[in-house]
């Protein structure tokens, strides 16, 4: 028979399937990253279609059966996409790419869910927001960013980069800002850690990552 439950969700990515369905990968507070099918939402008369798109925050009713999860209802909460400028939209896309790559399926991560909500809110309200502080904060939360006092790789970071790491460990982490030209070593470090943890090649920063790796070794 299956059962139905509600999940506080942020849509990370969608794929069109069939004639009118949409396959969705969502980040939920209750179950972490999960996938569900929304049937018929691409039809012109669908009331759910606009709420089941990337960067939409909603309460999703999902029915679970032997064939998987399907979205049966939506209570829309926040459109995080429409208010973004092009730069902040790109930062939000980078954050989404990060979560899709590092999170396990069906594993609750309420702290990371809240970080994503905070980051998307900052993207809507602060033009100077960057994806690097989000990446650093995620690595800190997951416990895979070495502490500055215990690892030699931090000797290659500039003082502003070290200060950004310290800021990211605090409540107002999303306000951290560092000019791109001054953050290449920290970005390369984060990319390298992610590649080692996930066997996934970051789309950006590969040249800078190689430069840093040459400095401190494998």
Residue range(s) defining the domain that contains residue 13: 3-79
What percent of the chain lies above the pLDDT cut of 70?
A: 87
Among residues 79, 94, 115, which one ends one of the domains? Answer: 79
Residue 40 region, left (φ>0) first, then alpha (ψ -120 to 50), else beta?
left
11 and 74 together in one domain? yes
- Residue 126, φ and ψ in degrees, nearest 5: -130, 115
* 83-108: average pLDDT: 94
Is a pLDDT exceeding 90 seen at residue 16? yes
Beta bridge partners of 78: 57
Angstrom CA distances, 43 to 20, 81, 102, 192, 193, stand at 6, 21, 33, 43, 43
Predicted local confidence at residue 208, as pLDDT: 35
One domain for residues 166 and 72: no
- How confident is the model at residue 214, as a pLDDT? 42
What mean pLDDT is reported for the chain?
87
Res 175 pLDDT > 90: no
How many residues belong to the chain?
218
Same domain? For 60 and 141 the reply is no
Same domain, 176 and 102: yes
Residue 213 has pLDDT above 60, yes or no: no
Measured over the CA atoms of residue 151, residue 154, residue 156 and residue 159, the dihedral's sign is negative
Give the CATH number of the domain where residue 116 resides.
Answer: 1.20.1440
Q: What is the CATH number of the domain that holds 41?
A: 2.40.50.140
Question: Same structural domain for residues 193 and 108?
Answer: yes
pLDDT digits (tens, 9 = 90+) for 31-78: 999 999 999 999 988 989 899 999 999 999 999 988 899 999 999 999
Q: Above 90 in pLDDT, residue 133?
A: yes
202 and 144, same domain (yes or no): yes
Are 111 and 200 in a shared domain?
yes
pLDDT of residue 192: 87
Predicted local distance difference test score (pLDDT) of residue 151: 60
Hey, what are 89's tokens?
Answer: 């939209």
Number of domains composing the chain: 2
- Which residue would you say has higher pLDDT here, 136 or 198? 136
Rounded distance between C-alpha atoms, residue 21 and residue 106, angstroms: 22
Same domain, 50 and 135: no
Give the model's pLDDT for residue 37: 96
Q: Please, are residues 61 and 3 in contact by the beta-carbon 8 Å criterion? A: no
Q: 190-209: per-residue pLDDT in tens?
A: 988 888 877 555 554 443 33
Do 96 and 57 reside in the same domain of the chain?
no
Does residue 138 share a domain with residue 56?
Answer: no
Would you state the pLDDT for residue 154? 74
Q: Which of 21, 51, 79 lies at the terminal end of a domain, its last residue?
A: 79
User: Three-class SS string for 122-172?
Assistant: HHHHCCCCCHHHHHHHHHHHHCCCCCCCCCHHHHHCCHHHHHHHHHHCCCC
Please tell me the distance from the alpha carbon of residue 130 to that of residue 133, in angstroms, as a whole number.
6
pLDDT digits (tens, 9 = 90+) for 146-172: 876 656 667 788 889 999 999 999 888
Indicate if 95 and 28 belong to the same structural domain.
no
pLDDT of residue 147: 75
Which one has a higher pLDDT value, 80 or 66?
Answer: 80
Domain edge (last residue) among 34, 63, 79: 79
The rounded Cα 73 to chain-centroid distance in angstroms is 24
The encoded tokens of residue 180 equal 């791109």
Same domain, 100 and 194: yes
């Amino acid at each position: 028979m299956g059962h139905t439950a509600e999940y506080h969700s942020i849509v990370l990515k969608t794929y069109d399937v069939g004639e009118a369905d949409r396959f969705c990968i969502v980040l939920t507070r209750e179950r972490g990253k999960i996938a569900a099918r929304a049937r018929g939402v691409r039809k012109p008369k669908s009331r759910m279609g606009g709420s089941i798109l990337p960067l939409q925050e909603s309460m999703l009713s999902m029915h679970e059966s032997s064939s998987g999860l399907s979205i049966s209802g939506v209570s829309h909460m926040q459109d995080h996409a429409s208010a973004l400028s092009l730069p902040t939209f790109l930062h939000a896309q980078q954050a989404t790419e990060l979560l899709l790559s590092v999170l396990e399926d069906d594993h609750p991560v309420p702290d990371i869910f809240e970080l994503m909500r905070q980051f998307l809110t900052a993207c809507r309200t602060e033009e100077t927001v960057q994806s690097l502080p989000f990446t650093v904060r995620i690595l800190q939360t997951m416990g895979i960013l070495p502490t500055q006092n215990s690892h030699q790789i931090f000797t290659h970071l500039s003082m502003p980069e070290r200060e950004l790491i310290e800021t990211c460990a605090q409540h107002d982490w999303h306000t951290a800002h560092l000019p791109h030209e001054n953050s290449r070593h920290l970005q390369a470090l984060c990319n390298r850690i992610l590649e080692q943890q996930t066997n996934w090649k970051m789309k950006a920063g590969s040249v800078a990552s190689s430069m840093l790796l040459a400095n401190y070794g494998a």
